[in-house]
Amino acid sequence: MSWYRNAVWFVKGLREYTRSGYDSASKHFCPADVEVTVAGRSFLVTGANSGIGKATAKELARRGGTVHLLGRNKERAEVAREEIVTETGNQNVFLHIVDLSNPKEIWKFAEKFKTEHQLHVLVNNAGCMVNNRELTEDGLEKNFATNTLGTYILTTALLPLLEKEADSRVITVSSGGMLVQKLNISDLQSETGMFDGTMVYAQNKRQQVVLTEQWAKAHRNIHFSAMHPGWADTPAVRSAMPEFYQKMKTRLRTEAQGADTILWLAVSAEAVKFPSGLFFQDRQPVSTHLPLASTHSPAEDEEKLMELLEELSQKFQCPSPG
């Protein structure tokens, strides 16, 4: 069935995920949904140095929010912050340098952040697509470490902070690529078989959708959502998928178009009228499975994923002082 899923997904992508798909969908957008002020609200955006993350952070800053940029590269993060402050006039933009493939570093950051800041909205945007199997210094497969475990630890660690606030939200930037993958909990770190970075990434993105659904069930006071930004022209796409980029570059969305639904989920009153835990594309909830694709998983596999991630995450948590 994999050939069928891939073919259906690509045809769907050409129709919906490209710039023309955005142009068609945006005819039904209500501009007032995002023409709001968010002064007094605090946002944390991961992967904010460039691409969709930076575009999202810029729009949040433009609306008066306090914006925390989380990035791995200090020099690029400083350039991004300067650009955002200059363009928006908002000085409440702060940098945090964290490698989201390093679990200990994430735990350390989160514990410190909780003592110093408020948080109303977390945007899990950072991700990577490493095309050859590469291990981190902790012996973790790098795609899994960044996309799945890193997202799990950061969100889990910050849940107590989010629980304190009214109208708190968590938005995880997934991908339509997850539609070609069924959750596989037996090989989370791609230790068996031939390594295909694109499919590993797609599996991680399926895992993120499952995380979103599971968190929504467990934490009723927070609104969780996952989303697909479409196929956008970003530095990550150019570097990780050069052949795809060359074929599709004239049809790709802009970074701002890719960020639009993230912004809508982060600031609009309309977004939280939908149930928590859904998967969005162009401001609308969409199915997490292709028709006849056999990608549904039993509930016990989805619960087991949470157990495995919790068990693994705890291995990297430093004991609290005292």
- Number of domains composing the chain: 1
In the predicted structure, residue 321 carries a pLDDT above the cut 70: no
CA 292 to chain centre: 26
Q: Is the Cα torsion angle 301, 279, 17, 8 positive or negative in sign?
A: positive
Q: Cα(221)–Cα(223) distance, rounded to whole angstroms?
A: 7
Lowest mean pLDDT among 37-41, 179-183, 202-206, 242-246: 242-246
What tokens does 216 get? 């929504």
In the predicted structure, residue 319 carries a pLDDT above the cut 70: no
User: Domain for residue 19, yes or no?
Assistant: yes
Q: How many residues does the chain have?
A: 322
CATH number at residue 149: 3.40.50.720
121-133 residue pLDDT tens: 999 999 999 999 9
* CB distance 170 to 222 below 8 Å: yes
Q: Is the Cα torsion angle 182, 186, 191, 194 positive or negative in sign?
A: negative
Q: What pLDDT does residue 228 have?
A: 97
Q: What is the DSSP string of 56-101?
A: HHHHHHHTT-EEEEEES-HHHHHHHHHHHHHHH----EEEEE--TT
More confident residue, 13 or 1: 13
Strands 284-285 and 42-46: unpaired
For the segment 187-201, the average pLDDT, to the nearest whole number, is 95
pLDDT band at 168 (very low <50, low <70, confident <90, very high): very high
For the segment 234-257, the average pLDDT, to the nearest whole number, is 90
Whether 201 is catalytic is yes
Q: What pLDDT does residue 281 have?
A: 98
Residue 277: partners with Cβ closer than 8 Å, 6 or more residues away:
212, 213, 215, 216, 217, 224, 225
User: Domain for residue 300, yes or no?
Assistant: yes
User: Domain for residue 296, yes or no?
Assistant: yes
Q: Cα(9)–Cα(253) distance, rounded to whole angstroms?
A: 17
pLDDT band at 322 (very low <50, low <70, confident <90, very high): very low
User: Domain for residue 204, yes or no?
Assistant: yes
Look-up: residue for tokens 């995920």?
A: 17
Q: What pLDDT does residue 320 have?
A: 57
Catalytic residue among 22, 152, 201, 245: 201
In the predicted structure, residue 4 carries a pLDDT above the cut 80: no
pTM above threshold 0.85? yes
Q: What is the mean pLDDT of the chain?
A: 95
Structural domain that includes position 214: 3-315
Residue type, 281: Q
User: Domain for residue 177, yes or no?
Assistant: yes
User: Domain for residue 320, yes or no?
Assistant: no
For the segment 81-89, the average pLDDT, to the nearest whole number, is 98
User: Domain for residue 228, yes or no?
Assistant: yes
* DSSP helix, strand, coil percent of the chain (3-state; round to 5): 50, 15, 35
Q: What pLDDT does residue 110 have?
A: 98
Q: What pLDDT does residue 236 have?
A: 85
For the segment 89-96, the average pLDDT, to the nearest whole number, is 98
User: Domain for residue 321, yes or no?
Assistant: no
